Structure 1
């Protein structure tokens, strides 16, 4: 898997580039195919960043990422 910097991740926010990527626990996930992230936003969460800390307040567990294959690691 590839290494992705925070700057590279920030561009994959569904606005600057069409990809919708997020980081979670050091892994990068491509959520572009998720209807819940279509605009690069999911409720008050924005793509292109590390959402590890934000999951603590989410109404779901980390298992929500099980349906997505990680595409890389956050540098």
Structure 2
């Protein structure tokens, strides 16, 4: 896996670049294939950032990431 900086992650927000990336527990995922993340937004959450803390208040568990392969890790 490749190392991805917070600034690289921030640019992959579905707005500045077409990629829709988020970080969770140190891993970076590309969620562009998810219909729930169109335009880089999922309810009140935005792509391009680390969502580890935000998942604690989500109505689902971390298993939602099981269907996505990590593309890198957050350095």
TM bucket normalised to smaller? over 0.9
Q: TM-score, normalised by structure 2?
A: 0.99
2:37 and 2:72 map into 1 onto residues whose CA distance is 19
Q: TM-score, normalised by structure 1?
A: 0.99
> Which residue in the other structure is 1:50 paired with?
50
- Identify unmatched segments of 5+ residues in structure 2: none
Note the aligned Cα RMSD (angstroms): 0.3
- Identify unmatched segments of 5+ residues in structure 1: none
1:38 and 1:62 map into 2 onto residues whose CA distance is 20
Number of matched pairs? 75
